[in-house]
Amino acid sequence: MSQEQLLDNITHKDIKVITSYSAQLGDSVSVARVFPSEYAQLQSEYPIFFKKDAATGQFQSVVLLGFNDKENLYLQDDKWDADYIPLSIQRQPFLIGFIEKQKNGIPVQEPAVHIDMAHPKVNTTHGEPLFTSQGGMTEYLQKVNSILLSIHHGHEDNQAFLNDLVDHNLLESALINIGTQQLNGLYTINEDALNSLADEAVLTLNKKGYLQHIYMVLASLGQLRSLINKKSR
């Protein structure tokens, strides 16, 4: 069970976070959430898909890391074998929580950095400290902050992008057979629908930068082959 706390420099002054990756440290996941701003870096290393959030049914962007539950084929001993690691992985064990603040007497929800104290990367002896002895943020924590900020904006970007894909009927179920096994619940770009888009729609998508996103996703599918190779290694 996670145990989320609002981060502050008193409660968490002695906390350190391990920055390496391994199964013991909670990195054995077969799917990771990603955001359109990352597509360019992701597409040369991971296959990008869309997947529905189980609770809301909303589409998310994800990269596939393995074919079975808790199988992460990018993990090699204590190393994540890739040049780029998705932000949603890099952020662990931190997350954005919302706290209620008063603004001119009106309660408003504001994002704030939280830490999951139950996360295996959290301890007091190993890894990067969060605060300096004076109570200021370490360089590491500043980096975490900027990652969380990117994720925060990434949610909105992702939603806007996916809404457009849905509106233009550009999503379809991805049928992936790995040997006798079939992967369910993944979606990809419907290329037929893409090729028959009206000129006007193409222009609109292009102006928003979405056409580029779309082709990144399509290009990333080539990584499925390398993932299968990793699996058979």
The footprint of another protein (CB under 8 A) covers 52-59, 166, 169, 171-173, 185, 187
Nearer to another protein, 52 or 152 (CB): 52
Question: How far apart are CB 185 and another protein at their closest, in Å?
Answer: 7
- Residue whose token pair is 């809301």: 56
Question: How far apart are CB 189 and another protein at their closest, in Å?
Answer: 12
C-alpha 41 chain-centroid distance: 13
Nearer to another protein, 49 or 94 (CB): 49
Question: How far apart are CB 171 and another protein at their closest, in Å?
Answer: 5
Nearest Cα neighbor of 80 from 230, 183, 220, 216 is 230
Question: How far apart are CB 68 and another protein at their closest, in Å?
Answer: 19
Question: How far apart are CB 57 and another protein at their closest, in Å?
Answer: 3
Nearer to another protein, 58 or 142 (CB): 58
Nearer to another protein, 56 or 177 (CB): 56
Please give the structure tokens belonging to residue 216.
């990144």
Nearer to another protein, 14 or 53 (CB): 53
